[in-house]
Amino acid sequence: MAHGRVRIIGMGAVSAIGAGLDATLESLRAGRSGIGDMRHCVSHLGVPVGEVDLTDMEMARELGMEAGAHGRTTLLATMAAREAIENAGLDTASLGKTALISATTTGGMRETPLFYAPFADDNGRGRLRHAWRHPTSNHTDEMAEALGIGGWRTTISTACSSGANAIMTGAMMIETGMAETVIAGGADSLCAFTLGGFNSLKILSGDACHPLSEGRDGLNLGEGAAYIVMTADDSRKATGWLSGWSNANDAHHQTAMSDEGRGCQKAMREAMKRAKVTPAEIGYINLHGTATPNNDATEMAAIESVWGGEMPLFGSTKGLTGHTLAAAGALEAVFCLLGLREGVAWASAGLTTPMAGHTSALRENKATESEYALSNSLGFGGNCTVLILRKA
């Protein structure tokens, strides 16, 4: 492996703050939030969300895919992966042997009710294509077919760390020689099922969320997709590097971390050990930062345990996009790569009065010459994943 570790040569993203890297960067620079009222998702819950400002029809048309033939998760994934492929300059021949690792939590859950509702009234009704989109692997297969990705592929679903775990798995495939080039990331669409599930846990906010703030009362769900292209081909120009990674399980509770954030602590330490960097070399941390009382308190406890009094720049970008579930780890890895490239540490969007003892959270974007950024992705069940990105 080269000095930077695993070479990243392309990336793509779509979320509530923009479809594509240019629009995403513009919103990050402006601190422009995409959280607002639901327009495309159907739910009885009148809560704000981070919704992609495109209909399924518009995405299908943009992608040259048959309208109505694919679920929203597939469309979001294909948009972001197509940009990553173009950004990396992969040709048709190389795509035929490129591996694909995609992550999701919702899969085709958004479309399943389109089958179930009429079928429940009359078991001779209902379109089965809405039901066969339900499995998480469906979007991976459909995007591979649409984009001509012919190598080994799999789907990962480990709650909110899924996208980061997809990237970590791709990196290990590169390092062990199992694949020369890997496209890895995640996608999730908003759907009534997940909105209802998070609402039942009493962790949805009725307003735009306020990560790392006193009085924070919950998260906003979002949707989106992001993918990066990694390769072992050292002749390719690097967009950035994946220098370290780790996954650890807090094993504390189904939906909450331990007060000390033990899994997060362990994952951060192991990722830095793998990257051969010290805490002092990490210039920016993109927190998981969901704005729930438990997550933000325990994540900050974990960070303080590792860094002590010498804290790097840190913030949460979920006040811009909402919590995009399986896409979050991949999307925020892209944000870190853009920040390293542009020399900017992104502010903690939505921050009001900082949490007691944590007043150093970024209130606005800050210029930085950081070489390394660390991104936390902390999933239900204690599945904690950390990625360390390095400037090209």
The residues annotated as belonging to the active site are 160, 288, 323
HSE at residue 366, side-chain half, CA atoms within 13 A, is 19
In this structure, the strands spanning 181-188 and 366-367 are unpaired
Where would I find the H helices in the chain? 21-30, 56-63, 72-88, 92-95, 112-121, 128-132, 137-147, 162-175, 192-200, 262-275, 293-307, 318-321, 328-342
Burial of 325 (0-12, 13-18, 19+ CB in 10 A): buried
Burial of 38 (0-12, 13-18, 19+ CB in 10 A): middle
- Host H or E run for residue 345: strand 344-345
Q: How far is CA 145 from the centre of its chain?
A: 23
Which conformational region is residue 199 in: left (phi greater than 0), alpha (psi within -120 to 50 degrees), or beta?
alpha
Burial of 30 (0-12, 13-18, 19+ CB in 10 A): exposed
In this structure, the strands spanning 240-249 and 6-15 are antiparallel
Q: Which residues contact 145 (CB under 8 A, 6 or more apart)?
A: none
Spatial contact of 40 and 327, defined as CB atoms under 8 Å apart: no
Closest CA to 166 of 229, 109, 113: 229
Q: How many CB atoms lie within 10 A of CB 307?
A: 16
Burial of 125 (0-12, 13-18, 19+ CB in 10 A): exposed
**Phi/psi at 240 (nearest 5 deg)?**
180, -175
